[in-house]
């Protein structure tokens, strides 16, 4: 008796799935937009995207020859390296703390900062985790 109900339910599900597939297929064909105006706009959009990409690539190519931009790139790399070293110092200092929760409130140039240090050496600054950088 239960097996018959299960079999009937499975047959109903299979029929409904087939009907749903047909409905989706019909909807897709109805949703398809194939007017001349649409095709022209689609083509123009594609051309504009290609022009924008080309313009961006040309600009980046020009920047490669710009001394100021290259100095900025070098400065960025130096600052990222400085950040990694400062971060390493932070986590060395944290490792020296006893393995318990610690909270420090301090003032910086940017304003007051709330630092929380978890026993598993996770550091949170104003609620955001400070990631260990390599």
Mean pLDDT for the stretch of residues 87-114: 79
Check residue 120 and give its pLDDT.
Answer: 66
% pLDDT > 90, the chain: 47
Check residue 51 and give its pLDDT.
Answer: 97
Model pTM? Answer: 0.52
What DSSP character marks residue 98?
-
Round the average pLDDT of the chain to a whole number and report it.
86
Domain boundaries, the chain: 2-98
% pLDDT > 70, the chain: 92
10 CB-contact burial (10 Å; exposed 0-12 / middle 13-18 / buried 19+): exposed
Higher-pLDDT residue of 22, 89? 22
């Amino acid at each position: 008796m239960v097996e018959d109900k299960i079999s009937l339910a499975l047959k109903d599900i299979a029929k409904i799935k087939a009907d749903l597939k047909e409905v989706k297929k019909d909807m897709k064909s109805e949703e398809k937009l194939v007017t001349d105006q649409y095709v022209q706009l689609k083509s123009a959009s594609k051309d504009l995207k290609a022009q924008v990409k080309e313009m961006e690539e040309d600009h980046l190519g020009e920047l490669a020859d710009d001394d100021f931009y290259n100095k900025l790139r070098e400065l960025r790399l130096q600052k990222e390296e400085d950040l990694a070293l400062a971060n390493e110092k932070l986590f060395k200092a944290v490792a020296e703390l006893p393995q318990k929760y610690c909270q420090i409130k301090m003032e910086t140039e940017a304003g007051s900062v709330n630092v929380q240090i978890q026993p598993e050496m996770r550091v949170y600054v104003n609620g955001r985790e400070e990631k260990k950088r390599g």
